[in-house]
Amino acid sequence: MGFWSRMLRDKLAVAGMIIVLGFFVLSVATPLIAPYDPSLIDVDNILAPPSSTHLFGTDDLGRDVFTRMLFGAGISLKVGFVAVGIAVLIGTILGSLSGYYGGWADIIIMRVVDIMLCFPSFFLILAVIAFLEPSIYNIMAVIGLTSWMGITRLVRAEFLTLKERDFVLAEKTIGAGSLRIIFVHILPNAMAPVLVAATLGIASAVLTESALSFLGIGVQPPTPSWGNMLTQGQAVLGVAWWLSFFPGMAILLTVLGFNLLGEGIRDAIDPRLRQ
């Protein structure tokens, strides 16, 4: 049974895939389907409840919550994919060098990983952000630069196993260079667990971005983000429940979707891992 056959037989993985694809399509199609300008202020419709005119109601400035949710989806997914891309790039390179060469390269890289893991990730991100101007680009970079350690360990472990395989020894016998062996022969065979980690990492990055924006040090208003929308809803929670409910549900569904998809990919790659 192939990879896709196993994926499609896993109902939870399919549910996660549908959720992720749904949010992705919405974020891409936002300029076409958004009914209003996300920054349009309407003083005549301040804190209007959900209706046929405003599906998710309006906020304290009369802005359409549904429109802002759509634009916030693009922000959250962009942060997730870019941050994880940075982490995968760094982790893959360092893990490859550590696992293939061993010796001092392995010792130095793994000690750096151990040091980084000593700091709680979220507080490390908070400390770095405190010295930078809050912006979406800084958020992407900081999350990516503080979340590569797990991928480094995964890639290193795969390299330690694969570099002793016959196909690698055969390449060394015919005089293939180290870089060719690493990037052409070993790395493609070591990417399966990285794909799983990256999928789960996107969920973590979305959650981290939302938390930072909620605290006011992430994406800054008036740019819509699910996190800063939650902050705005907190002040009027007693009279405008929709300002907190809909962004909160969006964060929940996105994180759940990526987690289910990541678990499904893991089980499809190696069914023996299924509990």
Contact 90, 273 (CB under 8 A): no
- Whether 186 and 161 have beta carbons less than 8 Å apart is answered as no
160 falls within a domain: yes
Residue 82: give its domain's CATH number: 1.10.3720.10
Residue 72 falls within a domain, yes or no? yes
Residue 68 CA to residue 243 CA, distance in Å, equals 11
Lookup result for tokens 């962009």: 78
Nearest Cα residue to 15 out of 271, 256, 248, 272 = 256
pLDDT of residue 234: 85
Long-range contacts of 5-9 (CB under 8 A, 24+ apart): 6/267, 6/268, 6/271, 7/264, 7/265, 7/268
* Residue 15 within any structural domain of the chain: no
**Of 149, 143, 157, 163, nearest to 193 (Cα)?**
157
The pLDDT of residue 70 is: 93
Q: What is the pLDDT of residue 198?
A: 93
- Both tokens of 190, joined, read 């070591």
**Would you tell me how many other CB atoms lie within 10 Å of the CB of residue 217?**
19
Strand, coil or helix: 64: strand
Task: Tell me, yes or no, whether 122 lies in a domain.
Answer: yes
What pLDDT is stored for residue 67 in this prediction?
93
Domain membership of residue 11 (yes or no) is: no
Q: Please, are residues 46 and 61 in contact by the beta-carbon 8 Å criterion?
A: yes
The verdict on residue 100 lying in a domain is yes
In a domain? residue 123: yes
pLDDT for 260 equals 93
C-alpha torsion 76→79→129→141, nearest 10: 180
Q: For residue 202, what are its two tokens?
A: 């996107």
**Prediction pTM value:** 0.88
Tell me how many domains the chain contains. Answer: 1
Q: What Rg do the C-alpha atoms of the chain give, in angstroms?
A: 22
Residue numbers of the domain that contains 242: 49-256
User: pLDDT value at position 1?
Assistant: 59
pLDDT on residue 107: 93
d(CA 120, CA 112): 15
The answer to whether position 181 is within a domain reads yes
Cβ distance 91 to 149 under 8 Å? yes
The reported pLDDT for the residue numbered 246 is 93
One pLDDT digit (tens) per residue for the chain, 275 residues = 577 888 888 899 999 999 999 999 999 999 899 889 888 888 888 888 999 889 999 998 899 999 999 999 999 899 999 999 999 999 999 999 999 998 899 999 999 999 988 888 788 788 787 787 778 888 898 899 988 999 999 999 999 888 888 888 887 788 777 888 888 888 888 888 899 999 999 999 999 989 888 888 888 888 888 988 998 888 888 888 999 999 999 999 999 999 999 998 888 886 555 54
